[in-house]
Amino acid sequence: MSRSYCLSGLKASVLLLILVLFGLTSCKVQYSFTGASLTPEMKTVSVEFFPNRAPIVNPSLSQDFTEQLKDKFISQTNLQMIGEGGDLHFEGEIRGYDTRPMAITGDERAALNRFTITVFVKFINEVDPTKNFESTFTAYEDYESDQGLDMVEGDLIPLILEKIIEDIFNRAVVNW
């Protein structure tokens, strides 16, 4: 009699385990290793060209920024990139590109300069319009004043754009 009681208890445990596993697999929350919280309804993303409207214009900055923002969403999400009208949509412009002295030495000369890039972004989430935003993102890197901007900008632009794009990505899909 005790043996049949163990078998029925085992069957009940297996049945409960199957129900729990079925319940977990039917959830509609989507997780990713990047921290992006995308719903299954989100299938596409579009990024318009970001023109450079800063007082100082780097000729390749608009193209570099736009392509790197696209690459971030292609590599970090399962969204399909389309030309326009995506479930998630980005547009905006580069508004700032400048350098300023930061650390002044005893002889009133700059020891460090700060190179700053500012980008305005309008984000539209067609699936959840409460997540829409218009915001300005700024990042900078400091460099030694004995070097001209033309000597360091090739190394600093990728670092600054990486920071800005990470901030945009986090604001749009990570919800930090």
- How do residues 111-123 score in pLDDT, each as one tens digit? 899 999 999 999 9
HSE (CB half, 13 Å, CA atoms) of 91?
Answer: 8
Whether the per-residue pLDDT at 6 is higher than 60: the answer is no
Contact 112, 102 (CB under 8 A): yes
SS3 state of residue 143: strand
- Which pLDDT tens digit goes with each residue over 8-48? 555 655 555 554 444 444 443 333 444 567 888 999 999 99
Q: Is residue 1 included in any domain, yes or no?
A: no
Q: Is residue 14 included in any domain, yes or no?
A: no
Domain region containing 33: 29-174
SS3 state of residue 113: strand
| d(C-alpha 151, C-alpha 64), whole Å | 18
Q: Is residue 20 included in any domain, yes or no?
A: no
Q: Is residue 79 included in any domain, yes or no?
A: yes
- What pLDDT does residue 29 have? 39
| d(C-alpha 133, C-alpha 135), whole Å | 6
- What pLDDT does residue 136 have? 98
DSSP line for 88-111:
EEEEEEEEEEEEEEEEE-TTS-EE
- What pLDDT does residue 174 have? 87
Radius of gyration in angstroms for the set of CA atoms belonging to the chain, rounded to a whole number: 25
Q: Is residue 62 included in any domain, yes or no?
A: yes
Q: Is residue 5 included in any domain, yes or no?
A: no
SS3 state of residue 24: helix
Contact 57, 97 (CB under 8 A): yes
Give the orientation angle of helix 61-76 with respect to helix 149-169, to 10 degrees: 40
CATH number at residue 145: 3.30.160.150
Contact 5, 46 (CB under 8 A): no
Contact 156, 144 (CB under 8 A): no
Going by the DSSP 8-state scheme, the letter that residue 140 receives in this structure is E
With 0.95 as the threshold, say if the pTM is over it.
no
Structural domain count of the chain: 1
- What pLDDT does residue 30 have? 39
- Which pLDDT tens digit goes with each residue over 60-103? 999 999 999 999 999 999 999 999 999 999 999 999 999 998 87
Q: Is residue 15 included in any domain, yes or no?
A: no
pLDDT, greater one: 106 or 146: 146
Q: Is residue 11 included in any domain, yes or no?
A: no
Angle at 72 between CA 40 and CA 137, to 5 degrees: 105
